[in-house]
Structure formats: structure tokens, C-alpha cells
Chains A and B, each alone.
Chain A
Amino acid sequence: MKVSPQPGATTLLVVILSTCLLLFLFQKIIWIVLPVLLALMLYYILRPVVDALVNHGLRRGPAVKIVCLLQLIVAAGALVLAFLFLAKAGSWQSNFDRYLDGGQNLVRKTTASLEKVVPAFKKMNLGVTVDQHIEQFTSTFVGQNLLPISLGLLEWLPSLLLVPYISYFMLNDSTRLKKYIIKSVPNAFFEKALLLFSRLDASLQNYFQGLLLLTILDSICLGLGLELLGIHHAILLGVAAAVLAWIPYIGSVIGCIVVVLVAATDFPDQTWTAYACLALFLAVRLLDDFVFMPATIGRKLNVHPLLSVVMLFLGATVAGATGLFLALPLFGVVAVIGETVAQVVADQGLRARHRAARLLTAVS
């Protein structure tokens, strides 16, 4: 059998540079990239449900409509619950201040304990220094960032409303869209292009289904752990922290900080509860890195761990938080495209066949 040439270092470099360029561009149009990405995730999650209905004798069109209707009902229910929860929770500002005070108290108690155990810390005025830094941070953060962040979140709402709409058309028309794109590929590269599509599809399906599985496992572990520790809204916090973990590294830290703040505020006299929350997050993080992630996303995406870390850093440098979120899935997609294009470019036989076909078309 003719063996396709294996992509080398040049291909890898081109793939990395292309990923960075795309991340940079995507950052500029993130208002549409994010809904498309979320719709893509929904598409890969809901596709097996549509397929199951088709397998039971329903035609694809009605099956897609049923699944999308159910999806809308679930989304509407989640929105209603969220609004109820927010209404019950009181004003954002007062809650934010309350949880911040709770966190500050925890830090004060912790530094005081540390100063008792390690006298050197007392000489360094650890408690006072840390307190000053936190005061400075919270006053500038609340003053300068809280309002823009809240307004930014509100700006996202119209864009997020596109998600069910896009996912409906993805479920309904993805096969036809694929046919339409493939139609424009010359005969000589047709089989390669189809293979590329299949590999891309499998790669994305594996990534998003792996991510969903990871989120469910994290939600269960965190939700159960927080419930055992007696934290209010344990399941909700567990799910929120698991979803936040979609943003590599930073997401987990934010999730952990939120839960520790809640624990410190709800149990001001039991600092051990906040410490236990921190320990729980560290344990789940370790489980993620060594058990869950390799078993779900890592194994399925087939990206070397070192390359993953490099891409995350590059992504963060090029496109900030957007880059962190998109770096790995985008790298996976660009790598598959890059490898296939490299194989086609290096295959002189295929290119000669394409030239001959163009001549034949011109003659006929």
C-alpha cells in the first residue's frame, strides 16, 4: 500500500502558528465564536439522542425537533431556577461584600494562626501585610471591575440566545453541509478530504463528550464532598465549579475561591470547613489530572501533555482567557487539518492526478 508521508516538525510549527493566529482572530469575534462553540458542544451531546430516536423509526427532521424542544424546555427551566435563586439571594453588591468579608476574616484567622506557629511570620508582620494587600485589592477590584464585569455578562445574553438556534441547524443540516463543502473538493483529493472530515468529526465528538463526562464526574465529586461538609447549595456550587473548570487552570482556581468564600462566610467560626473545602478541591484536581482527565479528554484528544501545556500558555499570551478556553480544542482541529493538508501537499501522485484531471476537463 502507498504510505502517506508522516507530518514533520514543519507541519507542527505551522499548526501551532495557525492555532495562535486563529486564537487572535477569534478573540476579536468572540461574541459569535462562543455561541458557535457552545452550539457545537450541544450538537455533539444531543446527536446520540437524535440518532437513538432515528433508530427507533422516527425520521431525522421530527427527531431533531423533539430533541431541540426538550433542550429549550430544560434551558427555560434552568433560567427560571437561576432567576428564582438570584431573586432569593438579594442584591449582588451586598452579597459580594458579605462573601468578601467572610474571605477576609478567614485570611486574618489563618495568618494569625500562622504567626502563632511560626514566630518569623510575626516578625515580618505577615497578618498586617496580607490584610493591607487584600484591602487594596478589594477596594480597587470592586470599584473598577465589578460593574464592567456585570455589564459584560449582560452583553453576552443576546449572543448566548443564538446557541439553541445554531445547534438546531447543526443537528438538522450537518450532513448536507458536509456534502456541500465536499462537493467543491477536486476529485483527486476527494477521498482525503472525506477522511479529514471523519477524523475531525471523531476528534471533536471525543473532545466534547469527554468534556461532558469530566464535568459530570467533577460535579458529582464536588457536590457530594460539599454536601458532606454541610455547605449550602452544595450541588449548585459543585456544578458551577465543574463548569468553570472548562477554562483550564484559572477556572478551577476561581471555582475553588468562590466555594471557600461561601464556606468562610456561612461558617465564620469554623475555619476548618473552609480548609476542608480547599482540600476537597485539591483532591478533585488531583483526581482530574491523574484519573478523570486521562480517561476522558486526554486519551481522546491524543495531544502530548507537554504540547498541551505549551498551547495553553501560548493561547493565554495571544488571546487571554479566550485563548485558555479555546487553545486545546482549536489545536486539535487545526492539527488534523494540518496533517491532512501536509499529506496532500507531499503526495506528488495526487497532485499529478489533479493536474491531469484539470487538463481532461479543459479538453472535454
Chain B
Amino acid sequence: MRFFGADTDAQKVEMLQRIPIFQKLTRNEILEVNDLLHERIYEKNEIVFEEGDPGHGVFIVVSGKLRADPKHDVMKTALMDVGPGESVGELALFDEGPRSATVVAVERTVTVALFQAELTTLLTKNKNIGVKVLMEIGRIISKRARQILRHEQHIPTL
């Protein structure tokens, strides 16, 4: 019986490589990152996190669908469904600020979560992987910011 041995099979590596945040990583690098990811399963209508909660990490959808429901007027334009390969809650990786939206599972959803402590671990202990992951997260945040900017000129905060 394996209690906490390596749980990475070929299928899982392939699945992780399809996620944009990890697409630049090699197989060995994926294996390193997998040790730091936490898999969570949410039932339909289960809350992943609520607006105002102190946030500590990003949730990446592996299968199923999440829905972000921000209350802020500006953010409403960015209301979104989050499908496989997409992520939600990236800002919390950097500032532990309050979550800017409530996120609920629309259907049974499998996610992997990467938290601030683990990202810091990557950046300090395995810079090559950390920088690649950080760049991809930066791209996603930048893309979201541009989407919001197209609708509003004055964005108070993301």
C-alpha cells in the first residue's frame, strides 16, 4: 500500500502539461511541480472561495467548470466561467489580499491548487521552474487586465 509515495503517472504528467501555466515545463520539471500541487474535488454548487476571504493561492481547473461571481462593478465585466486548463485566484499568490470574487463549482470540478508558500519554494529552490511558472502566471494576469481595460479606463484595483 502506498501512503505518500510518488503519485505521478504518465497520464497525470500529460494532463499537467496541457495546463497553460505549466506548458513550458519539461517532463522532469512537471514531476517537481506535481509534488507541490494540491488536488481538490468540488461538488456542483460547492463554494471554492468567497469574496473577501484572505487568499493564499491559485486554483487551476483540470476538469469541470467554476464560475467567478465578482460583486465589484468594474470586475463584473470580467465575470467568467473557468474551464479546464484555466485558473482563478492568481492575485492571491502575490499579495494575500482579499479574494475579489466568489467562485463556485458549476459542475463536479477537479482542480489543482498552487499556493504562495509552494510558489516561493519553487522560486527559491528551483529557479528555472519558478521563473517559467511565474512568467505564465504574469501573462494570464496581464491578459485579464487588458480585457478589463478595454471596457473601463480607470481600474481601481484588480
Contacts and interface: CB of A to CB of B under 8 A. Distances in A.
Contacts of B4: 173, 176-177, 179-180
A59 B26 CA distance: 13
A54 B126 contact: yes
A6 to B, nearest CB: 14
Interface in A183-199: 183, 187-188, 190-191, 194-195, 197-198
B54 A190 contact: no
Contact of A4 (B32, B48, B54, B125): B54
Nearest to A349: B50
A179 B35 contact: yes
Interface stretch (B38-46, B65-73, B141-149): B38-46
B47 interface: yes
Contact of B44 (A4, A177, A197, A360): A360
Most chain A beta-carbon neighbours within 10 Å: one of B6, B39, B40, B44: B40
Contacts of A188: 47
A177 B45 CA distance: 30
A47 to B, nearest CB: 9
A361 interface: yes
B98 interface: yes
A224 interface: no
A2 interface: yes
B53 A2 contact: yes
A126 B116 CA distance: 66
A42 to B, nearest CB: 18
A353 B42 CA distance: 12
B37 to A, nearest CB: 8
B127 interface: yes
Interface in A142-197: 173, 175-177, 179-180, 182-183, 187-188, 190-191, 194-195, 197
Given A1-B98, A55-B125, A187-B40, A356 B46 contact: yes
Contacts of A76: none
B1 to A, nearest CB: 12
Interface residues of B, number: 38
A194 B57 contact: yes
Contact of A198 (B42, B117, B127): B117
Contacts of A363: 43
Given A176-B6, A176-B35, A360 B126 contact: no
A1 B3 CA distance: 38
Given A357-B46, A360-B45, A2 B54 contact: yes
Task: Tell me what chain A mostly uses at the interface: helix, strand, loop, or mixed.
Answer: helix
Interface in B20-61: 28, 32, 35-36, 38-40, 42-50, 52-57
A174 to B, nearest CB: 10
A356 B126 CA distance: 39
Interface string A186-217: 01101100110110010000000000000000
Contacts of B139: none
A55 B117 contact: no
A191 B56 contact: yes
A39 to B, nearest CB: 17
A97 interface: no
A59 B115 contact: no
B124 interface: yes
Nearest to A191: B56
Q: What 9 A-B pairs come out closest when comparing CB atoms?
A: A1-B98, A180-B4, A198-B117, A360-B43, A51-B125, A176-B4, A2-B52, A175-B35, A364-B43
Interface of B: 3-7, 28, 32, 35-36, 38-40, 42-50, 52-57, 97-98, 108, 113, 115-117, 124-127
Given A1-B97, A176-B35, A194-B56, 5 more contacts: A60-B32, A190-B113, A353-B47, A360-B45, A364-B43
13 contacts: A1-B54, A54-B126, A55-B127, A59-B32, A173-B4, A179-B35, A187-B42, A187-B46, A188-B47, A191-B55, A198-B116, A357-B43, A360-B46
